[in-house]
Structures are given as structure tokens and as C-alpha cells.
């Protein structure tokens, strides 16, 4: 079986996170190691899975004052005008020199 690519590993991790969120619980894993008794015995890790409820997520809303909105609108309009002037200037220089 071929090795997983980095993209496949990222997708698998994303799916695990989605599963945890959709379950509504958080899974924590702890590894308990057993030391081998004899030299021919293979190491076998054991896992203990405990489920703890997720904490509620707070949704903070941001309210924008109408005056702030108009200031943002003016800034965007100035940026648009300057961008158009720069593009027109570039085209004019290209036509004259090119």
C-alpha cells in the first residue's frame, strides 16, 4: 500500500476534527506504555479514550456605527479612484513609449 501524501494526511486530520465537532464531544487519548517482559515480546501500546463535553462557543457580534461605515465607504471610494488613475496612467505610458 503506498504511503499517504501530505495532502491526504491534512485531509484526514480535517475529517477527524469535523467528526469531533459534529459529535459535540472532545476525544482525548492517553498512551499507556507497557514495558516488554521478555526480549521476544512485541511492544503493544494501549489507548484510553475519554470523552469530555466541548465548551460552548461564544458568538460575539460587532456593531458598526453608521458614521464608521460612511468613513469606510469613503476610504474604499478613494482607493478605487486612485487605482483607476494608476491603471490609466500605466496604459498611457505603455501607448506613448511602446
Angle at 41 between CA 35 and CA 46, to 5 degrees: 50
26's CB contacts (< 8 A; 6+ apart) are 20, 51, 52, 53, 54
Q: What is the CA radius of gyration of the chain?
A: 29
Q: What is the pLDDT of residue 20?
A: 75
Q: What is the pLDDT of residue 94?
A: 94
pTM of the model: 0.35
| Closest by Cα among 24, 26, 28, 44 to 36 | 44
Q: Give the whole-angstrom CA distance, residue 31 versus residue 4.
A: 24
Mean pLDDT in residue range 53-82: 81
Amino acid at each position: 500500500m503506498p504511503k499517504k501524501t501530505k495532502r491526504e494526511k491534512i485531509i484526514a486530520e480535517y475529517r477527524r476534527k469535523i467528526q469531533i465537532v459534529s459529535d459535540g464531544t472532545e476525544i482525548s487519548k492517553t498512551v499507556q506504555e507497557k514495558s516488554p517482559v521478555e526480549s521476544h515480546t512485541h511492544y503493544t501500546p494501549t489507548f484510553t479514550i475519554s470523552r469530555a463535553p466541548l465548551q460552548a462557543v461564544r458568538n460575539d457580534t460587532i456593531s458598526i456605527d453608521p458614521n464608521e461605515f460612511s468613513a469606510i465607504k469613503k476610504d474604499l471610494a478613494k482607493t478605487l479612484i486612485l487605482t483607476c488613475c494608476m491603471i490609466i496612467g500605466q496604459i498611457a505610458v505603455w501607448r506613448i513609449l511602446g
